[in-house]
Structure 1
Amino acid sequence: METQPQKNLNNVSFSVNAEKQTIDLTVIPHGETTPISFHINYKLTERNGETEISVQNAASDRIWVNEILKIVLEKYNSEYKIPQNIAEIVKMFLK
């Protein structure tokens, strides 16, 4: 018998301000009763026919989540190439 994977997050709200290039996301992690809010500043760039998104800054309303975000942004490259087959759709929402 196949089972469906259990959802880990319940999306409470998600909004994009393409003009300011910001994303606001509020989720309730599985097993938690209070939501966690995120504010993300991003930048879309196009180079050599490829679209990239980079996270300029990410913050949360929880101190411990902010520390994790800081570590992740410092440790990993914050630029991600968007696959060409979905780049136009992503640009419609984020640009």
Structure 2
Amino acid sequence: MEEQLQKVLNNVSFNVNAGKQTMDLTVLPHGETTPISFHLNYKLVEKGDETEIFIQNIASDRLWVDEIVKMWLEKSSFNYKIPQDLAGIIKMFLK
């Protein structure tokens, strides 16, 4: 998956504000001349030994991308169970 993403995305920048639980991502898709920026809100939820990340909202600087993401989030909530061996490291950056 990572290799496929590297083929279609260039100049990826990624910033996290753990205090506000937000992430900013800017990518330049292959063949595009201007980057696309995303801003998202997340929540880390700990349940015993398990840690999950929930994406609560995603906004883009492009209207058509915004609409696609909005439809996608309405149909399925994005949550990801973080593997236990990575949870500690990820929580250091996101919490």
Note whether the superposition's TM-score is higher than 0.5.
Answer: yes
> Which 4+ stretches in 1 moved above 4 angstroms?
none
Give the letter aligned to residue 10 of structure 1.
Answer: N
Give the letter aligned to residue 61 of structure 1.
Answer: D
Q: Which residue of the partner structure matches residue 70 of structure 2? A: 70
Give the Cα separation in 2 of the matches to 1:12 and 1:80. Answer: 21
Q: Which residue of the partner structure matches residue 60 of structure 1? A: 60
**Aligned-residue RMSD, C-alpha:** 1.5
Q: Give the C-alpha shift of residue 77 in structure 1.
A: 2.4
Give the Cα separation in 2 of the matches to 1:58 and 1:11. Answer: 20
Q: Give the % identical residues.
A: 70
Flag structure 2 segments of 5+ consecutive residues without an equivalent: none
Q: Give the C-alpha shift of residue 28 in structure 1.
A: 0.2
Count of residues paired in the alignment: 92
Question: What's the secondary structure of 1:67's corresponding residue?
Answer: helix
Give the Cα separation in 1 of the matches to 2:79 and 2:27. Answer: 24
Higher helix share: 2
Give the letter aligned to residue 74 of structure 2.
Answer: E
Give the letter aligned to residue 73 of structure 1.
Answer: L
Give the Cα separation in 1 of the matches to 2:20 and 2:68. Answer: 24
Q: Which residue of the partner structure matches residue 37 of structure 1? A: 37
Flag structure 1 segments of 5+ consecutive residues without an equivalent: none
Q: Give the C-alpha shift of residue 81 in structure 1.
A: 0.8
Q: Which residue of the partner structure matches residue 18 of structure 1? A: 18
Q: Give the C-alpha shift of residue 14 in structure 1.
A: 1.1
Question: What's the secondary structure of 2:91's corresponding residue?
Answer: helix
Give the Cα separation in 2 of the matches to 1:78 and 1:64. Answer: 20
Give the Cα separation in 1 of the matches to 2:8 and 2:88. Answer: 28
